[in-house]
């Protein structure tokens, strides 16, 4: 059974634009406008899912997609770091930052570990491989990075070497037995 998964990174928010750990907030107006401009470039899908986060749901709406919330697509829960800048967290909790960047099982922020995000993503991909068809999934940078390293069989620490731009598309294909990375970082041109 053939399956295709198109993961679309949600539009930029004020927090992400400032280089802060994401918190649950709507996309910036400029991101919504850009999403609307690229909506016509999307291929037909058998199902459209979105993360529960406002950024992903708002992006789906701006793309004109009727999406169903899928909890497995949620952004990593950054706990008490949500909304704070990287440098601020580094100054307040340097040991926590080192642990977070070096140990995928660590959750020094009181939220969710990277390993937990990866497990969610792997479960979603396993389910989709059995269902077949094309799925569009509106989600966030960390779940997309985790999906890429999962498919490549790379160590989870490799997520820190992947950059995911807002509104970029990452495509995966499956023959029902294995997934392959088809394209990553593709940003559809606004028309």
pLDDT, one tens digit per residue, over 63-95 is 999 999 999 999 999 999 999 999 999 999 999
pLDDT tens sequence across 95-143: 999 999 999 999 999 999 999 999 999 999 999 999 999 999 999 999 9
**Residue 191, pLDDT above cutoff 50:** no
Euclidean distance between CA atoms 36 and 63, whole angstroms: 5
Flag whether the pTM goes above 0.95: no
Res 41: pLDDT: 86
pLDDT-derived band at 189, boundaries 50, 70, 90: low
Res 1: pLDDT: 80
Dihedral over Cα of 78, 68, 138, 161: its sign: positive
Which residues are 85's β-sheet partners?
A: 20
Which residues are 6's β-sheet partners?
A: 136, 171
Percent of all residues in the chain with a pLDDT value above 70, rounded to a whole number: 97
Which residues are 186's β-sheet partners?
A: 169
**Residue 186, pLDDT above cutoff 80:** no
Euclidean distance between CA atoms 107 and 188, whole angstroms: 34
Res 149: pLDDT: 97
DSSP reduced 3-state for 173:
strand
**Check: CATH 3.40.50.1240 for 3-78+112-186?**
yes
């Amino acid at each position: 059974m053939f399956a295709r998964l198109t993961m679309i990174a949600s539009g930029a928010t004020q927090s992400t634009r400032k280089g802060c750990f994401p918190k649950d907030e709507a996309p910036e107006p400029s991101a919504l406008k850009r999403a609307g401009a690229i909506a016509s470039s999307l291929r037909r899908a058998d199902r459209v899912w979105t993360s529960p986060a406002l950024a992903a749901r708002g992006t789906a709406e701006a793309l004109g997609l009727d999406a169903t919330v899928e909890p497995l697509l949620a952004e990593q829960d950054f706990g008490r770091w949500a909304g704070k800048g990287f440098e601020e967290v580094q100054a307040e909790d340097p040991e926590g930052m080192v642990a977070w960047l070096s140990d995928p099982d660590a959750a020094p922020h009181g939220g969710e570990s990277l390993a937990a995000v990866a497990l969610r993503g792997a479960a979603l991909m396993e389910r989709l491989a059995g269902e077949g068809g094309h799925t569009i999934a509106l989600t966030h940078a960390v779940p997309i990075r985790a999906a890429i390293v999962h498919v490549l069989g790379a160590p989870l620490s490799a997520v820190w070497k992947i950059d995911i731009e807002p509104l970029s598309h990452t495509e995966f294909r499956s023959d029902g037995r294995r997934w392959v990375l088809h394209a990553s970082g593709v940003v559809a041109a606004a028309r």
